[in-house]
Amino acid sequence: MLTFYFGVMGSGKSAFALMTWHEKHRPTASHHPNRAVLATTMDRSVDKVTSRTGMAAQALRITPGEVTPEMFGGADTVVIDEAQFLTPDDVDGLATLAAAGTDVVCFGLRTDFTSRMFAGSRRLLELADHVGHLPIEPRCARCERPALINARRVNGVVTTEGDTVVIGDVTGGSPSDPDQLGFDDTSAGGQPGTGLGAAGRVSVEYDPMCFGCWSNEVGARRFIDLRQSPESRHESGEPGSGQHGHR
């Protein structure tokens, strides 16, 4: 069985991954000792899954694009955190593993900071036998309605620009705890030193936001970007092209 649980940052993704792994790792009366493997795609200095709740466990580090059935050593259960970073081919491999009898449980973000679906999450939604929304529903940082977008703030300004993966902190995390940086729900980020993170002095933070508040903050500039994009110019130059909602 292939299962995918998704949510926004703060929905307890890593905590549920840890609890799932812990439960599956427990020997059962009717079964041989369950062999469960906990894995993560996050490129961390330490190979572990850490939740903001304080839970942590050693984990197998997966390099996106390099998933093989053998890497899980014949485990009964494979639990994967940060599954949004898997490649579609990785997910195909996991689906094959699941079809052969392994219980594969993936946890990840549905969309990135531009509100678009991660490729790995899309493939998981396509192939999973069971799909579920994580039960913790973070509220929007602005209006407290349910959050949908992992908004990225660079030096305090919500942006839709930059690499998909940029490490950052979640507003409200304890700044005194270095483990909060780049771990668990900061996972719209990930690769230290890439993109804006390389500048060192640029503050990158993530806020869960509802679509209304997020689009209000980025809407004006996005509209300008759309009007200036080559595609947009192409469309406006061809009256018969079909999409003229802005006229």
The residues of the shown chain that bind Zn ion, judged by CB under 5 A, are: 140, 142-143, 145, 210, 213
Host H or E run for residue 50: strand 48-50
Which CB atom, from 109 or from 140, has the smaller least distance to Zn ion? Answer: 140
**Which of 143, 198 has the CB closer to Zn ion?**
143
- Least separation in angstroms between residue 219's CB and Zn ion is 13
Whether 104 contacts 97, CB under 8 Å: yes
Compare residues 115 and 236 and give the one whose CB is closer to Zn ion. 115
Any catalytic annotation for residue 82?
A: yes
**Token reading at 120:** 């790995």
| Residue 66 or 144 with smaller CB distance to Zn ion | 144
- Does residue 5 sit in helix, strand or coil? strand
Tokens of 34: 């369950």
Catalytic residue chosen out of the listed positions 82, 217, 231, 238: 82
The least CB distance from residue 246 to Zn ion, in Å, is: 25
Residue whose C-alpha is closest to residue 158's, from 196, 109, 114 = 114
Q: Are 170 and 206 in contact (CB under 8 A)?
A: yes
- Shortest reach from residue 131's CB to Zn ion, in Å: 25
Q: How far is the CB of 211 from Zn ion (least distance, A)?
A: 8
Number of CB atoms found within 10 A of residue 32's CB:
8
Token readout for 37 is 């493997």
Catalytic residues: 82
